[in-house]
Structure 1
Amino acid sequence: MTTMWQQVLAIDAKYNTYRTPNNPQFRTLYIRRRSQLLRDSAKAGFDPQLRKQYLKQRMQLLTDKYGASISLSDQSSLWSRSASIRGSRTNLDMLDDSLGEIRTHRRQHSRGSGNKLDLMAEDPTGLVPTKDAGASKAMAGGTSLSENYAFTGMHHIFDHHQRAVTAVKFANDDKSRIACSSLDKTISVCQVLPSPATVVCILKGHTKGITDFSWSLSNDQILSCSLDATARLWTVSSGTCARTVSDPQHAPLHACCFQPLNNNMVVTGNSRGLVQVMNVSTGKPTKGGHGKLTGQVLCLAFNDSGTLLWGGDDKGVISSFQYDMATGKLTKGKRLVVCEGSPITCISFRAWVSREARDPLLLINCAINQLCLYKITSSDGEVSLKKTFSIKHRKETIRSSFCPLMSFREGACVVTGSEDLSVYFFDIERKLKPCVNKLQGHSAPVLGVSFNYDESLLATSDAEGLVIVWKRQQDEGGAHILEQK
């Protein structure tokens, strides 16, 4: 029954953006109420066949009313829609006819035009793996990058937070645990596998909204920071606060992270531009462990070895620091103005993403309607622009992430939230039409995104407090289409 009601809810969420376009708050309330009613109904234990029939009729009614899921007018989004439909076939067999119509239309369109770009819409891979990657492609099962990031729908929806969920993150090397930080002053730790998903505990203690958090390497602790000018270290197993550390300037904190190789050291960034290294055992700042940005520190990121630290601020500037592993001292590195006055809301580091993208990279969200990819060019953190991707981003704290698995195909993906209520997947190596998928289901700007380590689940959060866990497409054998590390 749980699976069935989640399928019904996934259909409702799919069409949610078409309901009351001038009143997004109503759409959020609608989905929450539907979730509650469907959960209650599932507990009553109705006949599965009756439920299946209801599922078909519900889909037909929504299609008749909105007609958006099989619209053929927007050629630029034709592949993403058909991919979503194909990914839903496992659970929604009534879409077969609709899918057939779309395929027929695409075949007729490509034959009529004879244009290479149109043929790429028919075969969205577009990219042929390099000769050297032939064996790797066979290992990956021969599926395209677009097919690899297709989704069957929603695995679960959490609606227990009362305000915006600022960040959502899976635990390290963990398929089933996520944590969510919220402006409602709490952090929730949730178990999403096995079904049904549950809220394990709520971490309470901050007196103002929580802006950021980070899992420790062993997942036994969570570091959080808040607008109340404190950072807290939580013991996950007991749900208790192990230590509270106040900001030296008593300023609101917007970013925090563990030192990758020494989780006894943490770094915070405050609204006065201070980047501060602290020892959580003593609760005191380290000597020389501070740096200054031009504006409010909104995001922080280390490289894997913990020797370089980058910070982004609300003035549109990225600054790098060299970190001394022995003392915790920060030495100022390079400074780059991405766009003056446009906040940098997220920084992610990746040593290399695929066999084609071997350079160390930074993925950066900048509030100029762009997701930016930078190549790291020096040992002191200097970067140069590699590529940009268009998203809607002007006001919110939008986050993004590299997809965690190493690609055996030509191309590599990143995922990001957006203020247009969607989740986007971009192939960083594709020159034309880099968007390989787009997920719709949120009724508010999508703030946080996080894959679990094997990419079988994706968690996304929004400005109305909703968290959606998406399920990856499965192959014919029932296994998730994954790539090898």
Structure 2
Amino acid sequence: MTTMWQQVLAIDAKYNTYRTPNNPQFRTLYIRRRSQLLRESAKAGFDPQLRKQYLKQRMQLLTDKYGASISLSDQSGSLWSRSASVRGSRTNLDMLDDSLSEIRTHRRQHSRGSSSKLDLMVEDQARLVPTREAGASKAMAGGTSLSENYAFTGMHHIFDHHQRAVTAVKFANDDKSRIACSSLDKTISICQVLPSPATVVCVLKGHTKGITDFSWSLSNDLILSCSLDATARLWVVSSGACARTVTDPQRAPLHACCFQPLNNNMVVTGNTRGLIQVLNVSTGKPTKGGQGKLTGQVLCLAFNDSGTLLWGGDDKGVISSFQYDMATGKLTKGKRLVVCEGSPITCISFRAWVSREARDPLLLINCAVNQLCLYKITSSDGEVSLKKTFSIKHRKETIRSSFCPLMSFREGACVVTGSEDMSVYFFDIERKLKPCVNKLQGHSAPVMGVSFNYDESLLATSDAEGLVIVWKRQQDEGAPILVEQT
């Protein structure tokens, strides 16, 4: 009979709000460990009366420590039998409302000296239920805060086969098991991270200088790379062979490249002389009118999902937009924005909408002025306006960031970024107070690349010394993640 242990776990979950309010990861680990111990104890088959006695003693201990919070009923068919586990109690909105009321009462009673901590607790717990705009999904709202949702159990695998900085790491599209890594050691490696043990499948060799960027094709059968050797190469993933090499028309080093999202026969490159070039990979030739010009070295490129808008960032701190003609591949210059004069733009990411509460199309931008910037797209020609900034350590390296790929039924939305302080940061773009919801430490050099797989079960990060770490996100065993892919 496991019902009594489930009741004990429900009580622990109820009081979890008060447990180490400034360390949500510990709260999650505590409940998971309690669940494991209780399941093991249930298998031992203790006397039912002993179980009931333990339940009462546990309730008394929690009441003495945290104050009266629950009136426990002896009826086995009550709330506790319905809340058979932490996951089962997540959909009980009444319990959530009670928790919020208790926190606010506690805040009023202890307002002096601890108001900021309790404000953060209230804000964190309030995010458990979606806003009225997502009312239809309230029944599926998760019971963990956003910070708990991005807790990690540790390192899934570490790759150290690259000899120099890994400039970018990316999971294949809609594939949670394959990553590719580009390096200044002139190679690209394709790695299989699931199932364990993780392995290096193949290494793509051909560039004569360091590789600065790469991109997977939509079907993951091709990889496009660009290099300081002034060439872009198209690789066949299945064989590891180079299908085509295209030399930059100005023979200038290339720092950025990407596929046109709806026509992978077209690719775009950006060089150190400010030239953006649209290329037909079948012919290896540039398209007519498919050129754009930035004020400085092109360091990053990003399309919108429909492929009609292209943004480029340069080393002068400027972002420029271009309208892309789907029929001809022609680029028409749009808007220009100075983010911070003289501070390089090292990464641009586009997202049509991030969550049910953040429905505007957004650009996520790394600027080497110690900032990660979020911009709202305001016009059809790519004009943007600043929405929010986040502080990170970033002055010299090519630091990259990414939107977290899933949209959950809770409030808030996360982005992840590398940093020169050797850490990986997660920011909630909707949180006003202390937006950093997690920080991963494990690298011994500036973290340059970050990439989630499509279901967010694994995160890959790369650094300036050639190390790639694959992190495993913590998930409740046996429970589906109630999310939608954007």
The normalised TM-score by structure 1 is 0.77
Farther-moved stretch of structure 1 (135-144 vs 202-211): 135-144
2:143, 2:7 → 1: CA distance? 28
1:165 aligns to 2:169 (yes or no):
no
Q: Pick closer, same or farther for the CA change 1:458–1:73 going to 2, 3 Å.
A: farther
Q: Secondary structure at the match of 2:470?
A: strand
Residues 22 and 117 of structure 2 are in contact (CA less than 8 Å); yes or no, is this contact kept in structure 1?
Answer: no
* Alignment map for 1:263-282 (pairs within 5 Å): 263-282=264-283
1:272, 1:71 → 2: CA distance? 71
Q: CA deviation at 1:413?
A: 0.7
For residues 123-157 of structure 1, what are the alpha-carbon distances to aligned partners after superposition, in whole Å with 9 as ceiling and x for unaligned?
A: 56667531343442432432221111111111110
Q: Pick closer, same or farther for the CA change 1:123–1:412 going to 2, 3 Å.
A: closer
Give the length in aligned residue pairs.
485
Q: Pick closer, same or farther for the CA change 1:87–1:269 going to 2, 3 Å.
A: farther
Q: Pick closer, same or farther for the CA change 1:461–1:42 going to 2, 3 Å.
A: farther
Residues 455 and 482 of structure 1 are in contact (CA less than 8 Å); yes or no, is this contact kept in structure 2?
Answer: no
Farther-moved stretch of structure 1 (304-313 vs 80-89): 80-89
Residues 90 and 141 of structure 2 are in contact (CA less than 8 Å); yes or no, is this contact kept in structure 1?
Answer: no
Q: Pick closer, same or farther for the CA change 1:252–1:152 going to 2, 3 Å.
A: same
For residues 362-399 of structure 1, what are the alpha-carbon distances to aligned partners after superposition, in whole Å with 9 as ceiling and x for unaligned?
A: 00000010000001111111111010000000000000
Q: Secondary structure at the match of 2:20?
A: coil
Residues 127 and 412 of structure 2 are in contact (CA less than 8 Å); yes or no, is this contact kept in structure 1?
Answer: no
Residues 7 and 154 of structure 1 are in contact (CA less than 8 Å); yes or no, is this contact kept in structure 2?
Answer: no
- Per the alignment, residue 128 of structure 1 pairs with 129
For residues 269-296 of structure 1, what are the alpha-carbon distances to aligned partners after superposition, in whole Å with 9 as ceiling and x for unaligned?
A: 0000000000111111111100100000
1:482 aligns to 2:483 (yes or no):
yes
1:200, 1:9 → 2: CA distance? 44
Unaligned runs of 5+ residues in structure 1 are none
Q: CA deviation at 1:331?
A: 0.6
For residues 419-476 of structure 1, what are the alpha-carbon distances to aligned partners after superposition, in whole Å with 9 as ceiling and x for unaligned?
A: 0101011111111111111111110000000000111100000000000001010214
Q: CA deviation at 1:83?
A: 23
* Alignment map for 1:355-370 (pairs within 5 Å): 355-370=356-371
1:366, 1:75 → 2: CA distance? 59
Residues 458 and 471 of structure 1 are in contact (CA less than 8 Å); yes or no, is this contact kept in structure 2?
Answer: yes
Farther-moved stretch of structure 1 (353-362 vs 72-81): 72-81
- Per the alignment, residue 174 of structure 1 pairs with 175
Farther-moved stretch of structure 1 (360-369 vs 117-126): 117-126
Q: CA deviation at 1:94?
A: 30
Residues 24 and 147 of structure 2 are in contact (CA less than 8 Å); yes or no, is this contact kept in structure 1?
Answer: no
For residues 76-102 of structure 1, what are the alpha-carbon distances to aligned partners after superposition, in whole Å with 9 as ceiling and x for unaligned?
A: 999999999999999999999999999
Q: CA deviation at 1:184?
A: 0.2
Instruction: Give the 4+ runs in structure 1 shifted more than 6 A.
Output: 1-112
Residues 103 and 122 of structure 2 are in contact (CA less than 8 Å); yes or no, is this contact kept in structure 1?
Answer: no
1:164, 1:330 → 2: CA distance? 33
Residues 186 and 210 of structure 2 are in contact (CA less than 8 Å); yes or no, is this contact kept in structure 1?
Answer: yes
User: Larger Cα Rg: Structure 1 or Structure 2?
Assistant: 2
Q: CA deviation at 1:35?
A: 31
Unaligned runs of 5+ residues in structure 2 are none
Q: Pick closer, same or farther for the CA change 1:217–1:155 going to 2, 3 Å.
A: same
Farther-moved stretch of structure 1 (393-402 vs 82-91): 82-91
Residues 90 and 142 of structure 2 are in contact (CA less than 8 Å); yes or no, is this contact kept in structure 1?
Answer: no
Farther-moved stretch of structure 1 (452-461 vs 89-98): 89-98
Residues 318 and 345 of structure 2 are in contact (CA less than 8 Å); yes or no, is this contact kept in structure 1?
Answer: yes
Q: CA deviation at 1:115?
A: 4.9
- Per the alignment, residue 344 of structure 1 pairs with 345
Q: CA deviation at 1:44?
A: 33
Q: CA deviation at 1:409?
A: 1.3
Q: Pick closer, same or farther for the CA change 1:23–1:124 going to 2, 3 Å.
A: closer
Q: Pick closer, same or farther for the CA change 1:405–1:81 going to 2, 3 Å.
A: farther
1:407 aligns to 2:408 (yes or no):
yes
1:342, 1:373 → 2: CA distance? 16
Q: Pick closer, same or farther for the CA change 1:51–1:74 going to 2, 3 Å.
A: closer
Q: Pick closer, same or farther for the CA change 1:432–1:240 going to 2, 3 Å.
A: same
For residues 10-68 of structure 1, what are the alpha-carbon distances to aligned partners after superposition, in whole Å with 9 as ceiling and x for unaligned?
A: 99999999999999999999999999999999999999999999999999999999999
2:194, 2:349 → 1: CA distance? 26
Q: Pick closer, same or farther for the CA change 1:392–1:37 going to 2, 3 Å.
A: farther
1:209, 1:5 → 2: CA distance? 58
Residues 357 and 412 of structure 2 are in contact (CA less than 8 Å); yes or no, is this contact kept in structure 1?
Answer: yes
Farther-moved stretch of structure 1 (50-59 vs 235-244): 50-59
1:477, 1:424 → 2: CA distance? 28
The sequence identity of aligned pairs, in percent, is 94
1:75, 1:462 → 2: CA distance? 56
Residues 255 and 298 of structure 1 are in contact (CA less than 8 Å); yes or no, is this contact kept in structure 2?
Answer: yes
Farther-moved stretch of structure 1 (163-172 vs 124-133): 124-133
Q: Pick closer, same or farther for the CA change 1:84–1:464 going to 2, 3 Å.
A: farther
1:133, 1:405 → 2: CA distance? 16
Farther-moved stretch of structure 1 (311-320 vs 408-417): 408-417
Residues 25 and 443 of structure 1 are in contact (CA less than 8 Å); yes or no, is this contact kept in structure 2?
Answer: no
1:5, 1:233 → 2: CA distance? 58
Residues 79 and 124 of structure 1 are in contact (CA less than 8 Å); yes or no, is this contact kept in structure 2?
Answer: no
Residues 84 and 152 of structure 1 are in contact (CA less than 8 Å); yes or no, is this contact kept in structure 2?
Answer: no
Q: Pick closer, same or farther for the CA change 1:458–1:50 going to 2, 3 Å.
A: farther
